[in-house]
């Protein structure tokens, strides 16, 4: 008889895990609290505007993504970003300045001062540091590249990816590939040259050169298509309450369905629930695990989706959007120019934008009343973008606990989770708080974590 495995959660981590396992011939059941697949990946078409409340795009960093998309028959709906979307802006002194993407534009840019440019040239001569797990990305960048690079490139980039605080994120845990350039090659510039050759051998793409993708009806199309493939294996509207050991070395998953408690016995349980939920589910098995999982911080983030008549926007929408450094002192982190990146996001004479508010840098912003906060953000956004009219569509979603932060000391949580898995054979803790938060990382890890089953 094939091994029985329960997967907890039908976000992209749970669905792709289950998909690979079904292919290997295991008997799989996914238990999901909501009535739809996708977790953080939520897409809706409202009045002809496509709203992605969670991820707006993914990066094709591994061939596994295309493999999954092809196998769930979604290739016809997969779309890639327009070439102009590689242009990203940074707000500096009220103006949007393109982030230089090659040595020539770096020399010409007014994003960095001349002394900051000379400082960058010293990078290959800066010695290695000791312990990247306890070094923040801010300390790392400051040491290797100088403070302007931290303020106007890394600080906004970190809020764009993690909605994070560069002073708190561990460089080695949150940006392992970046840290590796120093650890293995002795510097970022040297490492980038040599790393490109290695990636080519492994058939992988760097995050900088990987293609940005989405789907005609938004990011949720992917979990929807995987779920359609696994349809008989998913129980929706079922909230997992607890996982207990049985006398014959199996695992009992207790969940609530239609107001009744039910249970199922399995040889293995793979959790892809957020850390703060997993901490409750496994609380009967290990007190210390609870502490570790609860220590992983998920800051609040509000997504504000706006649609306008194109004729109300004075500036050209020739890029991905813009990010705001902490020094910019605005009430939002940045804006994605959604309808300029992918086709079919809204009618041709309209434009759509996705703004992000809050994050680890400014969680206290939500002490302000929501309508007041949105009013301030709108006025700041209109000034930056030279917009004269009012939005014709406003949608928002508050993520109270948005994205797990791989902060300083995260390695202790990671080590403890590994010990817990060794002690409790058959239990696997997966999801975006391990091995990377991006959609691509979740897909890659879903395959990695099941290799020892």
* Residue number, 40 or 170, with CB nearest to ligand FAD: 40
Query: CB–CB of 374/172 below 8 Å?
Result: no
Query: Looking only at residues 271 through 310 of this chain, which bind ligand FAD when binding is defined by CB under 6 A?
Result: 272-274, 277, 301, 303
Tell me the residue length of the chain. Answer: 453
Candidate ranges 134-142, 168-176, 407-415, 433-441; the one touching ligand FAD (CB under 6 A) = 433-441
User: Would you give the distance in Å from CA 92 to the centre of its chain?
Assistant: 25
* Residue number, 33 or 148, with CB nearest to ligand FAD: 33
Quick one: DSSP state of residue 421?
H
Give min distance, CB of 146 to ligand FAD, in A: 28
Site map for ligand FAD, 22-61, x if CB under 6 A?
---------xxxx----xxx------------xxxxx---
Query: CB–CB of 349/311 below 8 Å?
Result: yes
Query: CB–CB of 213/57 below 8 Å?
Result: yes
Of 300, 303, 407, 318, the closest CA to residue 362 belongs to 300
Residue 111 corresponds to which tokens in the numbers above?
A: 């994003």
Please pick, from the candidates 442, 443, 444, 450, the single residue that binds ligand FAD as defined by CB under 6 A.
Answer: 442
164 binds ligand FAD (CB under 6 A): no
* Residue number, 191 or 274, with CB nearest to ligand FAD: 274
Give min distance, CB of 416 to ligand FAD, in A: 19
Candidate ranges 122-130, 203-211, 226-234, 436-444; the one touching ligand FAD (CB under 6 A) = 436-444
d(CA 18, CA 31): 11
Please pick, from the candidates 29, 170, 326, 432, the single residue that binds ligand FAD as defined by CB under 6 A.
Answer: 432
* Residue number, 424 or 446, with CB nearest to ligand FAD: 446
* Residue number, 306 or 442, with CB nearest to ligand FAD: 442
Give min distance, CB of 274 to ligand FAD, in A: 5
SS3 44: strand
Give min distance, CB of 336 to ligand FAD, in A: 8
Please state, in angstroms and as integers, the Cα–Cα distance from residue 53 to each residue in 44, 355, 412, following that order. 8, 10, 32
Site map for ligand FAD, 380-419, x if CB under 6 A?
-------------------x--xx----------------
CA dihedral (266, 267, 273, 278) positive or negative: positive
Please state, in angstroms and as integers, the Cα–Cα distance from residue 307 to each residue in 47, 205, 354, following that order. 10, 33, 9
* Phi/psi of residue 60, nearest 5 degrees: -85, 75
Query: CB–CB of 144/178 below 8 Å?
Result: no
CA dihedral (341, 347, 349, 352) positive or negative: negative
* Residue number, 39 or 334, with CB nearest to ligand FAD: 39
Write down the residue that tokens 């969940």 correspond to.
255
Number of residues that bind ligand FAD (CB under 6 A): 36
Question: In sequence order, what are the residues at sequence separation of 6 or more whose Cβ sits closer than 8 angstroms to the Cβ of residue 368?
Answer: 376
Of 43, 32, 35, the closest CA to residue 10 belongs to 32
Query: Which spans of this chain sit near ligand FAD (rule: CB under 6 A)?
Result: 8-14, 31-34, 39-41, 54-58, 239-240, 272-274, 277, 301, 303, 399, 402-403, 431-432, 437-439, 442
């Amino acid at each position: 008889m094939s091994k029985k495995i329960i997967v907890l959660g039908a976000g992209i981590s749970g669905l792709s895990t289950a998909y690979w396992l079904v292919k290997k011939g295991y008997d799989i059941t996914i238990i999901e609290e909501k009535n739809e697949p996708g977790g953080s990946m939520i897409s809706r078409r409202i009045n002809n505007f496509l709203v992605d409340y969670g991820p707006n795009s993914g990066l094709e960093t591994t061939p596994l993504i295309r493999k999954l998309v092809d196998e769930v028959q979604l290739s016809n709906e997969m779309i890639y970003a327009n070439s102009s979307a590689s242009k990203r802006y940074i707000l500096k002194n009220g103006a949007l300045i393109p982030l230089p993407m090659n040595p020539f534009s770096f020399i010409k840019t007014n994003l960095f001062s001349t002394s900051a440019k000379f400082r960058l040239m010293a990078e290959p001569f800066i010695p290695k540091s000791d312990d990247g797990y306890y070094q923040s990305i801010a300390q790392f960048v400051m040491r290797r590249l100088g403070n302007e690079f931290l303020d106007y490139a890394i600080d906004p980039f970190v809020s764009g990816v993690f909605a994070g605080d560069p002073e708190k994120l561990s460089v080695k845990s949150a940006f392992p590939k970046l840290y590796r350039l120093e650890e293995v090659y002795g510097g970022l510039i040297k490492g980038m040259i040599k790393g490109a050759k290695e990636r080519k051998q492994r058939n992988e793409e760097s995050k900088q050169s990987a293609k940005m993708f989405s789907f005609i009806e938004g990011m949720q199309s992917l979990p929807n298509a995987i779920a359609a493939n696994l349809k008989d294996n998913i129980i929706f509207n079922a909230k997992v309450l607890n996982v207990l050991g049985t006398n014959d070395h199996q695992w009992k998953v207790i969940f609530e369905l239609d107001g009744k408690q039910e249970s199922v016995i399995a040889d293995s349980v793979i959790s892809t629930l957020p850390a703060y939920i997993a901490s409750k589910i496994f609380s009967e098995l290990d007190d210390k695990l609870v502490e570790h999982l609860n220590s992983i911080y998920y800051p609040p983030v509000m997504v504000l989706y706006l649609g306008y008549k194109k004729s109300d926007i004075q500036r050209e929408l020739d890029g991905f959007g813009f990010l705001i450094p902490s020094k910019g002192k605005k009430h939002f982190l940045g804006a994605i120019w959604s309808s300029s990146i992918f086709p079919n996001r809204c009618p041709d004479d309209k434009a759509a934008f996705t703004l992000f508010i809050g994050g680890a840098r400014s969680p206290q912003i939500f002490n302000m009343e929501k309508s007041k906060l949105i009013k301030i953000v709108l006025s700041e956004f209109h000034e930056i973008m030279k917009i004269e009219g009012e939005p014709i569509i406003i949608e928002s979603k508050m993520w109270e606990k948005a994205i797990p932060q791989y902060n300083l000391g995260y390695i202790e949580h990671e080590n403890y989770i590994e010990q817990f898995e060794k002690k409790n054979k058959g239990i696997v803790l997966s999801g975006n708080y391990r091995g990377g938060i991006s959609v691509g990382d979740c897909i890659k890890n879903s395959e990695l974590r099941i290799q020892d089953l």
